[in-house]
């Protein structure tokens, strides 16, 4: 069975853990002061492939964990809080992925709390500034919106050598 390593990244409080809890169910995480600091979300089998998902904390001080986790990764999911837009850390994460030639998608989370006009502005900004991004999913990790599309994309991933 083909094994694919996926890392989920994003700034603090964008909903990475909630998204993965709704995607995978039970997940392994370590929390400190109500902040997830270590994450092995677990695996799911899609299209005959074992997709193993790891996460990284969103706080800036954990940049070293992001760098370590990106070694040998096949794909990344960048979660953005659509009510806050693209934050500086998100820009650094996307630039790092581009510099390392790691394919990724952007999951625009929390669309249920932002109006359509602001969401369209954010989509335009992403498309203008991050042309290397192949997929943008509008969703809500809390409500499960966008999870089917995310699973579909993950099921079509291939191992990068």
Nearest one of 106, 87, 93 to 65, comparing CA atoms: 93
Tokens 């995310």 belong to 150
Q: What is the mean pLDDT of the chain?
A: 84
pLDDT at position 31: 63
Nearest one of 107, 49, 47 to 76, comparing CA atoms: 107
Give the pLDDT confidence of 72-98 residue by residue, as tens digits.
899 999 999 999 999 999 998 998 899
pLDDT at position 54: 83
pLDDT at position 146: 95
pLDDT at position 161: 57
pLDDT at position 158: 73
pLDDT at position 112: 93
Give the pLDDT confidence of 120-160 residue by residue, as tens digits.
999 999 998 887 777 999 999 999 999 999 999 998 877 66
The domain made up of 2-155 has a fold known as Rossmann fold (3.40.50)
pLDDT of 29 over the 90 cut: no
The alpha-carbon radius of gyration of the chain (Å, integer) is: 15
pLDDT at position 30: 59
pLDDT at position 18: 86
pLDDT at position 124: 92
DSSP assignment of the chain: -EEEEEEEE-STTSSHHHHHHHHHSS-EEEEETTEEEEEEEEEEEETTEEEEEEE---SGGGHHHHHHHTTT-SEEEEEEETTT---HHHHHHHHHHHHTT--EEEEEE-GGGS-HHHHHHHHHHHHHH-TT--EEEE-BTTTTBTHHHHHHHHHT-----
pLDDT at position 25: 75
| 59 band by pLDDT with thresholds 50, 70 and 90 | low
In angstroms, the CA 152 to CA 99 distance is 26
Domain boundaries, the chain: 2-155
pLDDT of 61 over the 70 cut: no
In angstroms, the CA 57 to CA 14 distance is 11
């Amino acid at each position: 069975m083909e094994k694919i390593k996926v890392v989920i990244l994003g700034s603090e409080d964008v909903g990475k853990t909630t998204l993965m809890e709704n995607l995978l169910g039970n997940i392994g995480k370590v929390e400190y002061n109500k902040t997830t600091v270590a994450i092995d979300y677990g695996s799911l089998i899609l299209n005959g492939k074992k997709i193993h998902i790891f996460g990284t904390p969103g706080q800036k001080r954990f940049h070293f964990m992001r760098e370590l986790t990106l070694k040998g990764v096949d794909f990344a999911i960048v979660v953005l809080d659509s009510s806050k837009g693209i934050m500086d850390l998100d820009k650094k994460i996307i630039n790092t992925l581009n510099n390392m030639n790691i394919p990724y998608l952007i999951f625009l989370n929390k669309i249920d709390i932002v109006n359509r006009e602001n969401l369209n502005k954010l989509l335009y900004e992403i498309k203008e500034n991050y042309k290397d991004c192949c997929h943008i999913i509008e969703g809500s990790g809390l409500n499960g919106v966008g999870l089917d599309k995310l699973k579909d994309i993950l099921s079509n991933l291939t191992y990068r050598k």
